[in-house]
Structure 1
């Protein structure tokens, strides 16, 4: 499945957010609680961790898996928003306007 199409089996909550002046579209499944985002100028959806003031892209393997799967029907162990990004890890600066969201998002 291409990353510009998300499964229709999810029950979406969708919002537009602006981080440091950069507009994003954020989707969260109300059932499995997975989060996805994309810059409005980009068609590629990415798996994200939602922070207080940021959207942090998860690794490519997680994005590929989540984008290609149907909704699992419940939150899965290890996928809680607080468990997705390890503390002390280098930033996944999706909110950084200098980062090209079509490439690896790490700053």
Structure 2
């Protein structure tokens, strides 16, 4: 898979499971005019996880669409494959997204 290709939901699921043996939740977070991708500490295989497998896949599909629309697929792919950190209870992993010129204003409110 080349870094220029769009992300796919299946790819994200595979990377999460391969890297951390768990399907961690991913969230886009806006803070102080910046956009971040968070790998949360909650994961699909937890008994207390609030989403059903189908709802989680729908959530990921929407997230993938946003990431691809923002033009950050290669950045996210590289970071997920190379980060040495792991989500821990109460501490998400955080990737500050470097948005292409003009994309930030389209997304930020």
The answer to whether TM tops 0.5 is no
State TM-score, norm by structure 2: 0.32
Structure of greater relative contact order (alpha carbons < 8 Å, 6+ residues apart): 2
Structure number, greater radius of gyration? 2
State TM-score, norm by structure 1: 0.32
Higher-strand-fraction structure: 1
